[in-house]
Amino acid sequence: MLAIRWGFETQFPILFADLHDPLALGAWLYANITENSAGQAVWRFHAEGIRQAIVSGRNRERWEEIEQLGVPTLVVRGELSHDLPRDVFDRMLQSNRMIRGVEIAGAGHWVHSERHEPFVTAVREFTDSLL
């Protein structure tokens, strides 16, 4: 039997607040969790490395880097995302003419899982526009 022992039990409602669709949550868990030899559910990826990357990526504002982007860039935001607030998304779009933005209705932060088809359509339209 698969026993979940990953240390996020109390944070689960916060971490997955944006996932309103049980199928999207299932897809996310399937992609990120695996069973180890002891039958425990563990992160498929190096959990500590992911935590460090999140912390270091958010330890300061990155507006200078955003303003200096010199290649066409697509930013996809879920309408219901708490991780990328609307005001930050708007500021990103205003900061650099190379950035195009798409907001996917009804999606939280995990846009690609929650609203797969609109996400794929947005990416295809963006890449097609570059040809």
Q: What is the pLDDT of residues 30-89, one digit of tens each?
A: 777 888 888 887 877 777 887 787 778 778 888 999 999 999 999 999 999 988 999 999
Helices (H) and strands (E) in the chain, counts: 7, 5
Q: What's the CATH code, domain 3-129? A: 3.40.50.1820
pLDDT at site 65: 93
How do 33-35 and 40-43 pair as beta strands?
A: antiparallel
- Taking only the tens place, the pLDDT of each residue in 22-46 is 676 777 777 778 888 888 878 777 7
Residues 106-118 pLDDT 10s = 998 889 888 999 9
Among 111, 119, 54, residue whose Cα is nearest residue 80:
111
Query: Which amino acid, residue 46?
Result: H
Q: Which residue has the higher pLDDT, 27 or 96?
A: 96
Q: Is the pTM of this model over 0.85?
A: no
Q: What is the dihedral of CA 89, 94, 96, 101, to 10 degrees?
A: 40
Give the model's confidence band at 20: pLDDT under 50 very low, under 70 low, under 90 confident, else very high.
Answer: low
Give the domain ranges of the chain: 3-129
From the centroid of its chain, how far is CA 108?
Answer: 9
**Residue 126 has which token pair?**
């963006």
Non-local CB neighbours of 122 within 8 Å, separated by 6+ positions:
74, 76, 102, 104
